[in-house]
Amino acid sequence: MSAERKIIHVDCDCFYASVEMRDNPALREVPLAIGGASDQRGVIATSNYLARRFGVRSAMSTRRAMLACPDLVLLPPDFPRYREASQAIRRIFLEYTDRVEPLSLDEAYLDVSGQPHCQGSATLMAEEIRARIAREVGITASAGIAGNKLLAKIASDWNKPDGQFVVPPSAVDAFIRPLPVSKLWGVGQATAARLARLGVSDCASLQAWTPEALEQHFGKLGRSLYYQCRGIDSRPVVSERVRKSLSVEYTYAQDLPDLAACRAALPALCDDFFRRLARAADPRTPHKAIVKIRFHDFRQTSMECLCAQPDREVFSLLLDSAWARGGKPVRLLGVGVRFGDDDDAGIGITLPLWDAA
């Protein structure tokens, strides 16, 4: 490992489902998913590995999951229990380093550079942390160990479930070159398709591009991809993440058929948002107001404007403009604000705009 940075990414295996199986061992023998009801446009949050054999995946609609696996056992999420397990895991992390950056309830980065535990070996620390999570919390976790966050996160998925993988500095190039570009941050289906049309399918072929050419095609993401495909990531592990945005969104049991119905739904959404903004008590002034729409065909758009004090009227104007882009029934509406500017440090990864409502 690099003498400068030793990063561990710990990712619990099917976390919500694992907590449920821990508390009810009979669930270990059945395909299990955690999510919303199929008759209320529910979405799968996670599934155990038995359910995944049937193609059940997170972010899949519950209705589709039930069609793929008719024997699927569906449970609603129990966040108090999940938070309790998450807090127990975090206490374990903090015994090894105070440089812990949580990404969600079930995963985090740990910077263990210079730590004395396990003779300073990040690999041994990861093994010990995983063993303690299994013994003390009752679930399994996987880990990736590398010299930066990018590689550690990719590596944590390498030997799932209940495994770990190390990318030493000498192996970075051999590890990164054959990776499909979909493994890189910021590369979703649409970007992967654009890259494929340009003849780029893996990091080796992406390395042939200059930063200027990538930036011309993909903007700031292109500059980030230039470094990512080489395994370069200088971002530090940040213990306290500054909130970049605040929002709420609703998925409606029945589509909102037209703009008038969307306008009628907007006041309740705004009221919920303003309550959340008041509870957040963030001293910073909003920089932008944003409205998000997902149409009935799952196409999505958003509209934003510079605004330090958004109100219902601002959100209503943004809604009108956003809806005009599709002009179709709407299944989801969201409103929110962004704080500060849009620039991100390090390799240029943009944090998710929409917090979980």
Catalytic residues: 107
Q: Which neighbouring-strand residues pair with 104? A: 107
d(CA 291, CA 262): 12
Q: Residue 291 in contact with residue 318, Cβ under 8 Å? A: yes
Would the annotation count 106 as a binding residue?
Answer: yes
Q: Is 342 known to sit in a ligand binding site?
A: no
Query: How far is residue 261's CA from residue 82's CA, in Å, rounded to a whole number?
Result: 36
CA dihedral 312, 317, 323, 327 (to 10 degrees): 120
How far are the Cα atoms of 40, 74, 161 from residue 67, in angstroms, in the given order?
15, 13, 25
- Phi first, then psi: what are they for 288, rounded to 5°? -140, 150
Q: Does residue 123 contact residue 166 with C-beta atoms inside 8 Å?
A: yes
Name residue 178's beta-bridge partners: none
CB within 8 Å of 69: residues ≥ 6 apart: 31, 51, 54, 55, 56
Ramachandran angles phi, psi of 352, nearest 5°? -55, 135
Q: Is 154 left (phi over 0), alpha (psi -120 to 50) or beta?
A: alpha
Q: What angle do CA 159, 182, 208 make, to 5 degrees?
A: 115
Q: Which residues contact 249 (CB under 8 A, 6 or more apart)?
A: 269, 292, 332, 333, 334, 335, 336, 354, 357
Joined tokens for residue 183: 């493994």
List, as residue ranges, the binding site. Answer: 11, 106
Provide the annotated binding site for Mg(2+).
11, 106
